[in-house]
Amino acid sequence: MLFDILALISVLTVIILLKRLLNIFPSLLACIVRWKESVNLEASVKHSLDRDMIAIAMILPFCLTVYRFGLYTPKFMTQIDEAYRLPATIGIILVYIGLRYIMGHMFRSRKINPKIQKAAGRSAFTFFTILTLLLIGTGSVMNFMKIAPEVIRSAMLWVSAAIYCIFIIRKTQIFASSCSIFTAFLYLCAPEIFPTGALVASALIL
């Protein structure tokens, strides 16, 4: 029941923002290919605002997709009553997002151009939107084709890993345009690698 209500809210939200999504979709795709597109996107107030709104709107569909296809299934989740697993999944993802946000602000550098630093930080919104759309599309198509759930889950995890790797490369390139590669990598460790590593480790160990 809760899943259906949240899914309906997600659909309505996406419909409301659909025009904005279509307007910036070419820019989102360009960010996958070239790191400079993230800087260009951030330079446009309208496009960056639309991107941010869409990324926030994608949080709920992302959480529902993760829950629906079992993308985050640590052992401790099996001990939680089924009625509370969806709220628990949403809570964990929100904690992850919050941790990234806090660490990103804690480890900001005054030596890097503020515009570059902002473009690098906000690029996460771009790739998160792309990832969510890809996961929803992949899950929907494969589920419609009656493919085994474990195969769907595996495919979606590989898609997630691929998009995350591209994101890390592009973010490193954005930072590297204002500092050395080594320094750029250090700025990635705290806000990106540590929170994501902790999330992955919790899924594998706990």
Distance of CA 76 to the CA centre of its chain: 23
- The pLDDT-based confidence of 192 (bands split at 50, 70, 90) is confident
Task: Single out the residue of 108, 134, 3, 128 nearest to residue 53, CA to CA.
Answer: 128
What would you report as the CA-atom Rg of the chain, rounded to the nearest whole angstrom? 17
CA 148 centroid distance within chain: 25
pLDDT digits (tens, 9 = 90+) for 123-166: 999 999 999 999 999 999 999 998 999 999 999 999 999 999 99
pLDDT of residue 206: 62
Is pLDDT larger for residue 83 or for residue 206?
Answer: 83
Q: Is 142 left (phi over 0), alpha (psi -120 to 50) or beta?
A: alpha
Residue 66: Cβ-neighbour burial (10 angstroms; 0-12, 13-18, 19+): buried
Residue 109: pLDDT band (50, 70, 90) is low
Closest CA to 202 of 107, 92, 85, 41: 92
